[in-house]
Structure 1
């Protein structure tokens, strides 16, 4: 049977997906180590895919299905983090007392009074909310100093921590 036979229009629970992913990766590593027939198979253009199953159900899942499920759960986690970051950004920054010297140059807050600092944090949060509204995860931003790029995918989930 072809691996496409073992693709399904549903998602299995995350714990099972991670277990199957680990098992498939282990089996692939073992396959690479074994067998002189591997070269013969590759020369013929045959692409092998592993198929996993969960006992006692008769369902079988291709390696591609497990990979797609892992991607689904990664995107789901990123989406949850996006909502948490967005909620954190939408708090009233004019009432939050903080001073992050590490980012003072990038945020333009170096040497500001406490009131001006809170106002700048509010403005910065609104700028980031705007970026959150239209940016794809693959977007990259240049820092105001021009020294570095920041991938939006690396920002999501890290703001409110």
Structure 2
């Protein structure tokens, strides 16, 4: 069974390397990715469409009026729920990432490198939940709980002093 991953972008043109994204995403065969453009003012949406054109497991949703991160995630979730037979959806918002030292390429690499554990998402944690939005899970929180030894994941949870 496939699992969906929603990634929310907002004005990330400078951090995106579409060639790297495409190379990494092509290695994820059982993950369905939804790239949500949250009303970017730069060329982020065009770059996301380039990735979609090259990868058959990528969809792009364009949110035309800026929304909160969770509202943008929900827009992606509604799309994924309507288009695919997915029971579990992980999400990441680039606005909430600490990408100062490690760009978005590292996020895509973490997803690719950990796709096997993402696919084995613990179904027990969702048994009590009934609605689509209640079944959303934070991808980075999940990987952190599994104690994946990855510098990018550790960096996301460091506190700024």
Q: Mark yes or no: TM-score above 0.5.
A: no
The structure number with the bigger radius of gyration is 1
Tell me which protein shows more helix as a share of its residues.
1
Which has the bigger relative contact order, CA under 8 A and spacing at least 6? 2
| TM-score, L = length of structure 2 | 0.22
| TM-score, L = length of structure 1 | 0.22
Tell me which protein shows more strand as a share of its residues.
2
